[in-house]
Amino acid sequence: MTQTKYATQPIEGYRHVAPEVRVEGDVTVIDSNAVYYKELNEAIRGAVAGGAKHLRIENVNGQRYIGTGLAGEDVRIEVHGTAGNDLTMLMDGPTVEVFGNAQDGVGNTMNAGRVIVHGDAGDVLGYGMRGGRVYIKGDVGYRVGIHMKAYESLVPIMVIGGNARDFFGEYMAGGMLVLLGMNTQFADQPLVGSFLGSGMHGGTIYIRGTVEAWQCGKEVGIAEATEADMAELTPILADYCEAQGMELADVLKVPFLKLTPFSHRPYGKLYAPM
Amino acid sequence: MSTRPRYREESPFKIHGGCGLMGICDESGALMSGEDAILAMAVQHDRGNGLGGGFAGYGIYPEFADHFCFHMMYHDLRAKEETEALLDEHFLLDLAEPMPTRPVKGITDAPLLWRYFLQPYPDRLEESEMSGEDYVVSVVMTINSTIDGAFVASSGKNMGVFKGVGYPEQIGHYFRLEEYEGHTWTGHNRFPTNTPGWWGGAHPFALLDWTIVHNGEISSYGINSRYLEQFGYKCTLGTDTEVAAYLFDLLLRRHKLPLSLACKALASPLWDEIDRMPEDEKAVMRSLRAVYGPGMLNGPFAIVLGFNGGMVALNDRIKLRPLVAARKGSTVIVASEESAIRAVIPEPDQLWTPKAGEPVIARVKGMGWPIHGDLHLAPSKISCAVSGTEQSCETVEVSA
């Protein structure tokens, strides 16, 4: 055996190896334990291209881009562990269910599909999201729903079960954000931070509970949700409750506020005075 | 005294990216090797680009616990000779030795790396009419700003900074951190943005036993560095983070601000937030912003401050950089990503994302708290330095 110059190797965070893949019934199981995200996502895309409809990814810890760019409404992916940044970025159809927490950037520019996180999620959730649904069980971070947008039948919907921090719905252009403030580890704090909907010029934010006017951006109008609003919201909440194993009646015990922008072009006259 | 020349690697260029960081502290004082810190950084490999990695360890030199330890970087033997002459003049050197390293693939162009365990000459110290710490700081500033090719990586007691150009897991391996044991470690993975990647410019930045790892960009660097110059600090290392290390030294050690106030001075509440505060708290915050305006850190940041006695993690006031914290038993751990925490502690008792501007604090039991004042005093009861009322002064004295 030849003696190498380097006695031992540095500690590795992830290994550049293909993950172990096995099939259990109709489920394709991928063990992602310490596998680098590139090799993991190659295996996921390979399985989906080969016709797999139900994938279970085990031992996930921080691998990025899971579900990114994937298409196919009948594809279902379970993620067990902590999902890394940009989960389901640009995704177009599949359902991704995370049994654990998700890091930053979930649903970044997502087009269609469902993301269900049975835990907390980080910052910039649903950045530029333009379709599909994201259901988070617990708390979320800063800048959630930033610049969500909608076009005709493409209407993104995001429901957060816990609390959200500052800049919730910042620059929101379309779609729906729902904040429940129920499953939180910060029960002693306000359910949402400051700059709520600042720069908002489209879409709707529903809040279960109350917010102070100073928490909101100056473009935001606050009203109590009407019966018609609740008729629109209730089926979404029912769907969320089913996905998260919660009781709809509990969610409906507290009245909702509806936040909408005063103008769809708040800065229209800023640079081109009439 | 002449100023050192500008180096080739300091030439201006700009790459956009992020950084990664971690900090771990066992509040019971139990020791851990540097491997946990390396693992947490290795998981965050992609947050850097190989142009800077580093660690700080505390409690690692128990056999020299009362000595200041200088970790030095030299470009050449002449810089080493000049520095050693200066050290000889000011300090009693009890041990001088090369840093233990091993060859690691990918780590090249290392400077000469030496460490010195030393104590100020009592008569020289007395002559200087300075505290031991101020005496050390003045020597550090002299070396960094006047000796061509010599840099002090750290200068505290029973601690040290290990840093260089490379990925952090390579740097940790290079410095054999598995052979050290400490109660507190911080780590950093660099993706240089506005300033070059070079050995002296890697994180952590240190002065005495204060160390800073930082993800972000201090856009107030210019005013911060000019402000610090008034107090004798010289910013010479070409990375914005340097000012944060000196600001903590100024606010906590020299001005004796309580930690909570120092954090509020660096990551100030916004004016409209201050307007909504109760009157007494409002008065303190207004004074703080008025007095320490030039010390405020503007721009996005997540930082971990390490020191003998624990660590503090802090975000900018609108959370423009990620930070996650967790606790299991007596261990507190923070990182840029949850995955880094779970690689070390798979099932923490508690895991959360800290609120912007609110510090996460780990304090080692039984160690002297080097920070003036109590941690959890109400703002109305803190700091004669800021509000100047008698009542506040009494409180600070009691809790120091």
Using the Cα atoms of residue B363, residue B368, residue B369 and residue B374 in order, give the sign of their dihedral: positive
* Mean pLDDT score of chain B: 88
Q: Give me A228's structure tokens.
A: 């018609």
- What are the domain boundaries of chain A? 120-261
Q: Do B173 and A61 touch (CB under 8 A)?
A: no
| Cα–Cα distance for residue pair B395/B379, rounded to 1 Å | 11
Instruction: Give the CA angle between residues A38, B215, B145 to the nearest 5°.
Output: 130
Smallest CA–CA distance from A35 into chain B, residue: B43
What pLDDT does residue A263 have? 79
What pLDDT does residue B15 have? 42
pLDDT, tens digit (0-9, with 9 covering 90-100), for B301-336: 999 999 999 999 999 989 999 999 999 999 999 999
Sheet strand arrangement including A27-31: A20-24, A27-31, A54-61, A76-82, A92-99, A112-117, A133-136, A157-160, A173-179, A202-208, A256-261, A220-224
Q: Do B169 and A13 touch (CB under 8 A)?
A: yes
Q: Do B353 and A120 touch (CB under 8 A)?
A: yes
| Cα–Cα distance for residue pair B315/B327, rounded to 1 Å | 18
Smallest CA–CA distance from B177 into chain A, residue: A10
pLDDT, tens digit (0-9, with 9 covering 90-100), for B342-351: 999 999 999 9
Interface contact B275, partner A, CB < 8 A: no
What pLDDT does residue B9 have? 52
Query: For this structure, is B19 an active site residue?
Result: yes
B290 against B385, higher pLDDT:
B290
pLDDT, tens digit (0-9, with 9 covering 90-100), for B192-203: 776 777 898 899
Tell which residue, B374, B376, B375, has the closest CA to residue B394: B374
CATH topology of domain B8-217+299-369: Glutamine Phosphoribosylpyrophosphate, subunit 1, domain 1 (3.60.20)
What pLDDT does residue A265 have? 74
B253 against B116, higher pLDDT:
B116
What pLDDT does residue B14 have? 40
Interface contact A167, partner B, CB < 8 A: yes
Q: Which residue's entry shows tokens 């409906």? A: A252
What pLDDT does residue B8 have? 52
What pLDDT does residue A6 have? 66
Q: Evaluate if residue B181 carries a pLDDT over 60.
A: yes
pLDDT tier, B386 (very low <50, low <70, confident <90, very high otherwise) = very low
Which residue in the set B43, B102, B319 is minimally distant from A123, CB to CB? Answer: B319
Tell which residue, B361, B355, B345, has the closest CA to residue B307: B361
| Cα–Cα distance for residue pair B199/A127, rounded to 1 Å | 36
Q: Do B104 and A194 touch (CB under 8 A)?
A: no
Which residue in the set A12, A103, A185 is minimally distant from B338, CB to CB? Answer: A103
| Cα–Cα distance for residue pair B286/A93, rounded to 1 Å | 52
The distance of A142 to chain B (nearest Cα, Å) reads 7
What pLDDT does residue B2 have? 63
What pLDDT does residue A212 have? 94
| Cα–Cα distance for residue pair B258/B333, rounded to 1 Å | 22
Q: Evaluate if residue B392 carries a pLDDT over 50.
A: no
Smallest CA–CA distance from B338 into chain A, residue: A103
Does the interface ipTM go beyond 0.90?
yes
* Mean pLDDT score of chain A: 94
Smallest CA–CA distance from B37 into chain A, residue: A11
pLDDT, tens digit (0-9, with 9 covering 90-100), for B183-241: 999 999 998 776 777 898 899 999 999 999 999 988 999 999 999 999 999 998 878 88
Q: Evaluate if residue B275 carries a pLDDT over 60.
A: yes
B385 against B88, higher pLDDT:
B88
Interface contact B170, partner A, CB < 8 A: yes
pTM to 2 decimal places = 0.91
Q: Evaluate if residue B12 carries a pLDDT over 50.
A: no
Q: Evaluate if residue B398 carries a pLDDT over 60.
A: no
Interface contact A166, partner B, CB < 8 A: yes
Q: Do B342 and A8 touch (CB under 8 A)?
A: no
pLDDT, tens digit (0-9, with 9 covering 90-100), for B148-178: 999 999 999 999 999 999 999 999 999 999 9
CATH class of A120-261: mainly beta
Mean pLDDT of B74-102: 97
State which residues of chain A have pLDDT below 50: 1-3
- Burial environment of residue A130 by CB neighbours within 10 A (0 to 12, 13 to 18, 19 or more): buried
- Cβ(A68)–Cβ(A46) under 8 Å? no
Helix (H) or strand (E) holding B152, with range, is strand B150-154
Interface of B with A in 105-134 (CB under 8 A): 105
The distance of A249 to chain B (nearest Cα, Å) reads 28
